[in-house]
């Protein structure tokens, strides 16, 4: 049996990474007068990784990392108008209409009829709350958890708070690092849905596809049948 099925939000329920890729393209164009494209991409990535502990995840953290990387790449010569351009790009990411993945609403509707559903996503609180509201999916979820990171300890605390046994919990997401491995580590089950644009930091882990409790499907439309098989409906 499964008491609760939890979903990541970004790039599991709705497209998110496509916005980041588009903005990074604009960022590379902006800094192309100072450094080659590979150097720009690597400096931005390393800046993001270094800033995770201080700024966390999300659009606002990304914007701060872009500004810092721009200053570094330009040797402090980046003009104020380009800093403003970075801020405008970040604002556009917060205002861009959400594009849901195929099968999302039908899947949630089917599963909500027999299970409690939860969102567990990381990032900026206001940003994620706003996106969930804009998605028009909020009514399907009994619980919403917005966290600064996803570790075994974070998942364990969430389950304890809601009195959910790990063996009766299923997490669905596109990140091995954040959605899958921490849940398996605490005795839960996890369904991995690969996404071709997942941030490399989230993929840079090893995993055993034969691990007990690990499942992988191509798209969300296959989830109800899998849940029926693994949880008994």
CATH superfamily for domain 4-14+98-231: HAD superfamily/HAD-like (3.40.50.1000)
How many contiguous H segments (helices) and E segments (strands) does the chain have? 10, 6
Contact 55, 61 (CB under 8 A): yes
| Of the ranges 93-102, 134-143, 223-232, the best mean pLDDT one | 134-143
What tens digit of pLDDT does each residue of 185-201 get? Answer: 999 999 999 986 554 54
The HSE-up count of residue 106 (CA atoms within 13 Å, CB side) is: 10
Contact 17, 199 (CB under 8 A): yes
What tens digit of pLDDT does each residue of 58-69 get? Answer: 889 999 999 999
Residue 24: closest CA among 9, 43, 51:
43
pLDDT value at 233 more than 70: no
- Of the listed ranges 36-40, 130-134, 204-208, the one predicted with least confidence: 204-208
What secondary structure does DSSP assign to 220-231, as a single string? GGGHHHHHHHHH
Domain assignments of the chain as residue spans, ordered by start? 4-14+98-231, 17-95
What tens digit of pLDDT does each residue of 201-219 get? Answer: 455 566 666 578 999 999 9
- pLDDT attached to residue 41: 93
Split at pLDDT 50, 70, 90, the class of 170 is very high
Which listed CATH number (2.60.40.1730, 1.10.150.240, 1.20.140.70, 3.20.20.70) goes with 17-95? 1.10.150.240
Split at pLDDT 50, 70, 90, the class of 229 is very high
pLDDT value at 55 more than 70: yes
Alpha helices in 97-178 (DSSP H): 104-112, 125-135, 152-161
| Alpha carbons 24 and 37: distance in angstroms, whole number | 10
- pLDDT attached to residue 198: 52
In this prediction, residues 41-69 reach a mean pLDDT of 92
Contact 63, 182 (CB under 8 A): no
pLDDT value at 34 more than 80: yes
Element (H, E) at 189: strand 189-192
In this prediction, residues 133-149 reach a mean pLDDT of 94
204-212: long-range contacts (C-beta < 8 A, 24 or more apart)? 204/177, 205/176, 205/177, 205/181, 207/176, 207/180, 207/181, 211/184, 212/184
């Amino acid at each position: 049996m499964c008491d609760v099925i939890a979903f990541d939000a970004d790039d599991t329920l709705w497209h998110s990474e496509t916005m980041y890729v588009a903005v990074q393209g604009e960022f590379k164009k902006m800094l192309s007068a100072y450094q080659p494209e590979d150097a720009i991409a690597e400096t931005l990535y390393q800046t993001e990784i270094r800033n995770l502990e201080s700024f966390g995840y999300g659009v606002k953290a990304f914007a701060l990392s872009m500004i810092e990387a721009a200053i570094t790449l330009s040797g402090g010569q980046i003009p104020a108008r380009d800093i403003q351009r970075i801020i405008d790009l970040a604002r556009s990411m917060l205002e861009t209409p959400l594009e849901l993945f195929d099968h999302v609403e039908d899947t949630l509707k089917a599963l909500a009829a027999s299970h409690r559903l939860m969102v567990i996503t990381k990032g900026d609180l206001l940003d994620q709350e706003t996106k969930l509201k804009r998605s028009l999916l909020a009514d399907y979820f009994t619980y919403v958890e917005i966290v600064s990171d996803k570790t075994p300890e974070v998942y364990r605390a969430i389950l304890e708070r809601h009195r959910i046994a790990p063996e009766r919990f299923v997490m669905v997401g596109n990140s091995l690092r954040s959605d899958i491995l921490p849940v398996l580590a605490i005795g839960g089950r996890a369904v991995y849905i690969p996404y071709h644009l997942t941030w490399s930091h989230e993929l840079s882990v090893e995993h055993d596809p034969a691990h007990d409790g690990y499942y992988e499907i191509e798209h969300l439309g296959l989830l109800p049948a899998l849940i029926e098989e693994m949880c008994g409906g």
